Amino acid sequence: MKFLITGGAGFIGSAVVRELIDSTSHEVVNLDKLTYAGNLDSLESVSDHPRYVFEHADICDAEALARIFSVHQPDIVMHLAAESHVDRSIDGPEAFIETNVMGTCRLLEASRRYWKQLALVNPAKAETFRFHHISTDEVFGDLAEDDPGFTEQTPYAPSSPYSASKAGSDHLVRAWQRTFGLPTVMTNCSNNYGPYHFPEKLIPLTILNALAGKPLPVYGNGHQVRDWLYVEDHARALIKVACEAPLGESYNIGGHNEQRNIDVVHLICETLEALEALVPQKPQGLAHYRDLITFVTDRPGHDLRYAIDADKIARDLGWRPRETFESGLRKTVQWYLDNPEWWQRIRDGRYQGERLGADI
């Protein structure tokens, strides 16, 4: 089959692209606008593969979408393109509404037009076409300490402009399925981590700041709880849902790894200490990485706890994560130690400068 993946140069999208090229015989069309979080360096290992094509386009551009559908004739759309950082959504919410709501609307409409045309010219292909929308557990709001995890029936209660915009996109997908019959499936995932994660996020930021001897910022008291999902486990789950899930179904994908933010930071420090032989020399005068932990003013409206009940996907599709948090985090720390060129190009802006130069 041919997959059209939006946001395929992002963190999760690039993991899906690599998994499809490395572990399946499917073809991939990667549609990405290449905003600050889109990085083609993350796809260097597959960029010249004959089953991979890159399209530099914006999901808000209806004409570009129409052309891409016409040229590539995908069998499955996997929609990952989104503005996704809560802090950025607080600073500038309109960009999140534009991309996550309006962009999803335009992609749904492009998919619907393409699918209706397929029904006329290639009914068999139209019968197997599907639109897979990838969302977040943040649309459900937060949980008290003893509450059970989010299920697929949990009511929506988003807390931030980011999660509200993603909730809006989820509602659009369900509406297009019910009103127009568009063949859709949906997934809501917990916090991802792993290789190629943009350095503004908690885990890579902590790793790289520790290596540089910089403060390790922790919001509030650090007691916020997240369920952590290794990105390669998530990529395998997404492909399984896209290929096997019954139409109209929704699945929560989680790592079964609830951790307080402060404990995540402590474990990163401990992992760096355990890998001491591979770690660059500590900054002078620093005895332990945990000494760099700095508590900062909490984020407005910060959700207390997320937790995913992933029983449905295990029961229906047989998916379970392979990594524990400890094994996945060790792999993640090791990857950042082994690939300084990737994150140094982000931190000094070279990855954007070279890309922009090539586009002129």
Q: What is the b/e burial string over 194-221, where b = at least 16 CB atoms within 10 angstroms of the residue's CB?
A: bbbbbbebbbbbbbbbbbeeeebbbbee
CA–CA dist 189, 95 (Å, integer): 22
32, 75, 83, 137: the catalytic one is: 137
* CA 211 to each of CA 11, 94, 121, 243, 273: distance values in angstroms, whole numbers, following the listed order: 22, 35, 57, 41, 11
* CA 106 to each of CA 102, 111, 171, 226: distance values in angstroms, whole numbers, following the listed order: 6, 9, 14, 32
Phi-psi region of 128 (alpha: psi -120 to 50; beta: other; left: phi over 0): alpha
27, 41, 75, 138: the catalytic one is: 138
Other C-beta atoms lying within 10 Å of the C-beta of residue 244 = 12
162 is catalytic: yes
162, 193, 230, 336: the catalytic one is: 162
306 is catalytic: no
Q: Residue 50: CB partners within 8 Å, gap ≥ 6?
A: none
341 is catalytic: no
Whether 90 and 299 have beta carbons less than 8 Å apart is answered as: yes
What is the rounded (10 degree) CA torsion for 266, 267, 269, 273?
140
Q: Beta 130-136 vs 184-189: how paired, if at all?
A: parallel
Question: C-alpha angle 156/157/161, rounded to 5°?
Answer: 115
Which residues carry out catalysis?
137-138, 162
